[in-house]
Amino acid sequence: MPVGMVLVPAGIFVMGTSAGDRAGANVPRQNSDAQPQHTVLLPAFFIDKTEVTNAEYQRYCAATGYPPPPHWIKGVYAEGAANVPVTFINWWEASAYAAWVGKRLPTEAEWEKAARGTDGRTYPWGDDWDVARVVWNQEKPQAVGSKPAGASPFGALDMAGNVFEWVSDWYVAYPGAPRTFPEYGTIYKVTRGGGFSGFNSIARTYYRSVGRPSTRSEWIGFRCVKDIK
């Protein structure tokens, strides 16, 4: 087991949501972009237990000479924020970091399986919203792993709340989708996981959000996966 990662075993899982699910509304789309619910078969893989932190990203910048995130002061993250998810990282930079550590960004399917397990649960911990299990109602991201009771079935932390996370996929329709949207295609990359505040619907395991690959945001971080050879 690679240090700091958890195993997601091979097998089938349920991805997306059903046409009748309106409780987690992505207004005005009503989760149409996460339909239809379908099964996906994936090989086993490892995924980071937590999001990549400021301290980890700083080591990358020091080793490679890559510029630090633009909001760091003189190249240094805020005091006390070593274990907070690194943010203001665009998709290209997240991908480059992942490659540097011998990993990659997860696919959308890999991310969702790691978050919800194989029983189709709504949140990483189950089907009922529980604010005690998630970084929520905050003004900014918090330290990774601070809500261990919100772990996914495979032991991944902060897969709901704290920050959204880049995945590798473009924002495209699922097979057999009931609707199409003009945003589909190679304009936006998908982000997953919900942020540190907002409606709890955005923390659902199947909720899809998006950003242009060049987007930098306090709301978006990332974690990596590693193939099993």
- pLDDT of 69 reads 97
Query: Rounded CA gap, 110 and 104, in Å?
Result: 12
Distances (CA, A) of 29 to 11, 107, 173, 197, 203: 30, 23, 13, 20, 16
According to DSSP, the residues that pair with 46 across neighbouring strands are 7, 226
What is the per-residue pLDDT across 143-186, written as a single tens digit (0 to 9) for each? 999 999 999 999 999 999 999 999 999 999 999 998 888 899 99
Tokens of 85: 């998810």
What is the per-residue pLDDT across 10-69, written as a single tens digit (0 to 9) for each? 999 999 998 665 544 344 455 689 999 999 999 999 999 999 999 999 999 999 999 999
Q: Write the burial class of residue 119 (CB in 10 Å: 0-12 exposed, 13-18 middle, 19+ buried).
A: exposed
CATH number of 5-227: 3.90.1580.10
Domain boundaries, the chain: 5-227
Query: Rounded CA gap, 6 and 223, in Å?
Result: 12
Q: At what angle do helices 91-100 and 54-64 cross, to 10 degrees?
A: 80
